[in-house]
Every structure is written in structure tokens, then in C-alpha cells.
Amino acid sequence: MTLELSQLSEDVRTMGEVIAKRRQTTIDLVKLARQWLEDHADDGAPLRRAARSARKTAIPTEEPLDVVWPLPRMPEHFTVAAADGSQIQPDRHGAALYHLINVGSLVYRHGSGEAPQAKSEATLGYTDDDLYEHGMPVAGNLLDVRRDLAELTCLADACAGEQLDRTVALVDGSIILWVLKDLPGDARRTKIGAYLDQLDRIRRAGSVVGGFISRPGYDEVNRLLCLASLNGETKKAEEQPNPLEHLPDRAIFATLPPGARSALFVSAKETNRDFHAPRGHEVHFFYLNVVEEGQQPVIARVEVPAWVARDTERLDLVHGAVVAQARITGDYPYALARADELAYVSSRERAAFEEMVVTALLRAGIRSAPSPKAHYKRLTRMR
């Protein structure tokens, strides 16, 4: 054992005490936040302009800030299509330079009695165009963006193939695409545009789309409540400390009844304002308690584009479908859990694929091996 646990015992004990104290502080902050939510419930309209000019602050909609919407009645038949992806990052210490994206998807037709339709699809990148963009290696965020686009394209394909209009496409995470700011402006616009094209396809198919975020750490609503407590004065909000700092929004909405959602808000992210909104896909979000009666609340954040948020029937379909899916497993949408399982590339599969690569190189007359660093890491970790 190389981790000397005895060196950490005192720090771990102290950490437990600090976390206990922080929990009591959090309880007090939640009370304050909920009081502000009640006090300013009907101040959405006057706050809207201030919120749009403030930084990282949720933008209120026409709904009262403290409104609670119960679980809607769902149709007997509806479909949920979910997709998730994983990737193998390019490794300069490996036998060859490549990356791999694997997308898993599941189509679950509620009320049909059919077995869910599962599949996975892998894409290998190895050409210069695959590996480099604008002089930068396709890794990290650039590869994440390709994976996100592959996931949404998979969902758009699934929606196009469904006969039933009541189809919900579920994404694991935000539906706002984040692209490196140091990428040239045209390249950023092209990438985000391709992603929004897939949202257009889902809309044209008569389907709806939602992004499910488990245990969200966002604090956009708490920033809005702080702004409301300062009568919408953005300068004060920027200059004065926020008493609710570090309080996640999910804590504020932990009193939502089982199956109920919060008010709708608009995300303040720049990408949402600059790219999604002009195309009609401005992202709204709400908080949702996905569990059944008698269970501890599990609060998720659900994101939807404007054309879903502004249509009660579509919004109810996303709301109800997410809860129906989460209650299959207990607290997380079943279709997303299965899509993740289908997308996951295990260490054994990675090793087998690497052997395929080495064999292909040998057949091409290339004798390749991992770098000395990678070689010795494998030797020392084989225990």
C-alpha cells in the first residue's frame, strides 16, 4: 500500500467536524433562501431585465418564483429515447495516436409491452482531420464536443424513426453546448450550429428534448434571490457578498413534493444567449423531485428548449416522462442508466482494442510500442 492512511487520520477526523458545522450553516442559509423565494415570488417581471444584465443569474419567466407544479397525468403510450457517450482520449504514450467515441442509446416505449431497443455505435478518429482542429489536438473539450454532437445526432435519428408523436429525447447533462472560447469564432459558431441543427431535427420530428442533470451544483437561482433581496440593483449584487454563496439551487427546492417541479427559469449562460436563443432554442430549466411518496427527496435539474418550455403539453410530457423513468430505478432515469452502460468502454475492452491496433500496425509493417513511461507505469501497476 502506497497511500499511508495513518498520515490522514487526524485530517479526516477534523474534516468530519468541519462538514458537520457546515451542514448547520447550510440549514440556516436554506431557510433564508426560501424566505426570499416567498417574499419575491411575484417579482419576476421587474427582475427580468436586471437578471439578464447580471452575471450567472437565473432569469425569471412569467411563473411565480415559488410556484409548485404537481406531476401531470401522462398518456398511456409514450416513448423515451436516451443517449450517452464515452470516449478514449488520444494518448501520445500509446502505440498509435487515435481517439474513440462510443455512443450508447436506448428507446423505451412505455405502454407497448415491447422490450427496450438498445444499441451502441463506435467511431474511431485517426486521420489528421480527426486528430487536429485549427492547430489544436482534438482532446479534452474538443473531443467532448464531438461526443455531445454524436449523442444528440443519435437521438435525432431515433426521433425521426418513431411513429408516435409523444417521444421524449433525453440527454445526460446540460443541453447547452460548451465550446472552448480560444477556438476561432467561426469554428465555435460552426460547432454550436451543427448541434442546434440536431435540436431542429428533433423538433421537426414532433418530439421533445430534455437534459437531465443529477445532483446539480448550479447556483443561478440563489444568485437571482440575492439580486431580488437587493431590489434588483445589479451593481450592489456585484459589489456585495452573496449570503447564499456556495448554496446549490437543489437545496432550495428540496421541499418539492414527490413528482413536482419548480418554476421555470432561463439559463444565463452566454452560449444560451448568443447562440441558442437566436435559433429558437433558448434553454429553460426547472428543478424536479423524482422520487415516490415516502422517500427522501432527490432533486434533479431538467433543461428544455424554449419551444418545449412555452408549450404546456410538451413541457408536461418531459416532466412526466422523466419522473416515470426515474421511478423505474428509484431516482435516476432508467433509459439514461442503460445508455451509459451501453456506452461505457471497460479497461478490458480498452486493452483488447489496443491489441487490435498493435496487430493492425504489424500487418502494415510498423512495429510500434508504448512509450517508456507508459511501459513502466503498466509494470508498476500490475498488482
Mean pLDDT by 10 residues, the chain (383 residues): 84 92 91 97 94 93 97 96 96 90 97 95 96 92 96 97 88 94 88 97 97 97 96 92 94 98 96 96 98 95 98 98 97 98 95 92 84 62 56
Cell of 298: 432527490
Give residue 132's pLDDT.
94
The one-letter amino acid code at 81 reads A
**What is the DSSP code string of 224-240?**
HHHHHHTTT-HHHHHHS
Task: Quote the pLDDT of residue 1.
Answer: 59
Burial track 157-168 (b if 16+ CB lie within 10 A, e otherwise): bbbeebeeebbb
pTM over 0.85: yes
Give pLDDT, residue 366. 87
**pLDDT at residue 375, as a whole number:** 56
Q: What share of the chain is helix, strand, coil (3-state, %, to 5)?
A: 45, 20, 35
Provide the pLDDT for residue 376.
58
**What's the pLDDT at 181?**
82
Closest to 313 in 3D by CA, of 13, 37, 75: 75
